[in-house]
Amino acid sequence: MAELPLHSFLAERGQMVEAALHRCVAGLAGIVPDELHAALGNGVIGSGKRLRPLLLVTACEELGGEVGETLYDLSASVEAIHAYSLLHDDLPCMDDAALRRGRPTVHVAHGVRAATVAGGVLIPWAAAWAFESALRSGCGEDAARRIVLLLLEAAGAGGMIGGQAMDLLAEGRSLAEEELERLHGMKTGALLAASLEMGAVAAGAGDDEYRAMGAFGRRVGLAFQVMDDVLDATGSAESLGKRPSDAEHAKSTYVLLLGVEGARKRGRELIAQALSILDRAGLAAPRLRQLARFVVERRR
């Protein structure tokens, strides 16, 4: 698995994730109206780093699980939840974003109502898709239910929804680093950690390996957000493919708190902590280590 250079690995596995996302969205054809289906396709399919599904598949593989089409289908459920969060984050009542991944946001292209409903549809659909995919990948019913629970807990009030609420309430005021870490641990870190935990469950991993995946994921998730703040502060809307920036919303960021170089240092520290968790668990996990480093080395 570790022979391919990382960029080739990301491209190859990314294509398989993209194919799974097409299958996931196609499953909604005939269930939702055509105009809503178009908005869903726009919000889910296209571009993106696909880090969360890649982490799920890689965690499963490195813990000895079988990798096939059904595991990629399972990974699509994580990206569907991530896509729902972006659809709603971009709405006029939230961040009022006009550009996402270099394209007009879904509410700009399809209208606010379609974007709002599409995001809502993706939540139960992702849960149903995760359960069926887990069963088809060889998980028993108990493991499949556990996978769905992990997915929805990460998406709910203790995860992404709670983190987004904190983010909106924090606009215009300065947060201490502990508050910022809690906010992003929920908004970004929870789903990223759940991706790894879902991969561990799919692999039939033991308790120690499962806990290591969660702890590793929480630190990688926080490092991802730290580097997002750095890129947001140092890149243009054209290079990043999104608008507006966090600064335009007067949000607290790691760059405002620590400076650009201080934030970069913090990101590297978090990745070092994540890698030490794998060391203590006795996990070689070469691809997970590469993906962790990619989080702080990426340029967009």
pLDDT per position as a tens digit, 215-251: 999 999 999 999 999 998 987 655 555 555 555 667 7
Q: What is the mean pLDDT of residues 114-122?
A: 96
Domains observed in the chain: 6-297 (1.10.600.10)
Distance CA 126, CA 124 (A): 5
HSE-up of residue 141 (Cα within 13 Å, Cβ side): 0
**pLDDT value at 18 more than 90:** yes
Residue by residue, DSSP assigns 39-74 as HHHHHHSS----HHHHHHHHHHHHTT---SHHHHHH
pLDDT at 101: 79
Dihedral (C-alpha) 127, 133, 136, 138: value to the nearest 10 degrees?
Answer: -90
pLDDT per position as a tens digit, 243-287: 555 556 677 899 999 999 999 999 999 999 999 999 999 999 999
**pLDDT value at 76 more than 90:** yes
pLDDT at 21: 97
**pLDDT value at 155 more than 70:** yes
The one-letter code for the residue type at 214 is G
Q: What percent of the chain shows pLDDT beyond 70?
A: 94
Q: What is the mean pLDDT of residues 61-82?
A: 97
Q: How many CB atoms lie within 10 A of CB 144?
A: 22
- List the Cα angle 67/190/124 in 5-degree steps: 70
Q: What is the mean pLDDT of residues 57-79?
A: 97
Distance CA 120, CA 79 (A): 14
pLDDT at 251: 79
Distance CA 185, CA 198 (A): 18
